[in-house]
């Protein structure tokens, strides 16, 4: 048990004093860590940031130029017009139903018109 505690103390000592320990090449572990951090930044992080920036710039310059065929545009216009006409007919039906209900209740204003503007 004493040996285990001694090993833990030595490990902690090495961690605390890592800046004083040297590697095979004579640099400290802290210097090697800084070199690895700088290399990571130069070879991985910076190219990634630059690449993403270039891709975003190209996307902005190129724009969203989706090619829609004229036939699809005409079909879409027809569909929107049909929806509009259907909604107009539905509004007339609702007004008619409201008029019928008001007449059954005996309230005046049999030709009740609701204005939603």
How does pLDDT run across 81-95, given as a tens digit for each residue? Answer: 999 999 999 999 999
Q: Which of 23-27, 35-39, 71-75 has the lowest mean pLDDT?
A: 23-27
For the chain, domain boundaries? 2-62, 66-117
Q: Which of 19-23, 34-38, 40-44 has the lowest mean pLDDT?
A: 19-23
Residues in contact with 93: Cβ distance below 8 Å, sequence separation at least 6, in sequence order: none
Sign for the pseudo-dihedral over CA of 87, 92, 95, 96:
negative
pTM of the model: 0.35
Give the length of the chain.
117
């Amino acid at each position: 048990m004493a040996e285990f505690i001694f090993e833990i103390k030595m490990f902690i000592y090495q961690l605390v004093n890592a800046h004083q320990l040297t590697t095979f090449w004579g640099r400290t572990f802290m210097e090697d860590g800084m070199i690895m951090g700088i290399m990571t930044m130069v070879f991985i992080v910076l190219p990634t940031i630059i690449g993403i920036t270039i891709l975003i710039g190209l996307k902005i310059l190129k724009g969203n130029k989706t090619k829609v065929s004229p036939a699809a545009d005409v079909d879409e216009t027809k569909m929107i017009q049909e929806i509009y006409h259907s909604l107009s007919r539905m509004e007339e039906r609702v007004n008619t139903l409201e008029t019928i209900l008001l007449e059954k209740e005996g309230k005046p204003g049999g030709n009740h018109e609701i204005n939603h503007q």
